[in-house]
Amino acid sequence: MIVYHPVTRDRTTYTFCQPGLEHPVSDWLDENGDPLSFNVEFKFGKAEVPDNLGRFLIDKGLAQESVILVA
């Protein structure tokens, strides 16, 4: 899934998240049951991430589905 940074489009930006803290499912936990950390790199405002991580970023307002901002 391709997601877009909601603010920065002209440089590389990083977003750090741990979705396993809020949603402890096997996709976001390591073999010991500890939450995994994800560092998402938005190059010029765009990043390609797994679908479940993309949905989490969009739901939390850390990313958006399209380049266009809708009011």
> Would you kindly state where each structural domain of the chain is located, as residue ranges?
2-59
- Residue pLDDT tens, the chain, 71 long: 999 998 888 889 999 999 998 888 888 999 999 999 999 999 999 999 999 999 999 999 999 998 875 55
Count how many residues are written for the chain: 71
pTM of the model: 0.84
DSSP string, 19-69: GGGTS--GGGB-TTSPBP-EEEEEBTTEEE--HHHHHHHHHTTS-BSSSS-
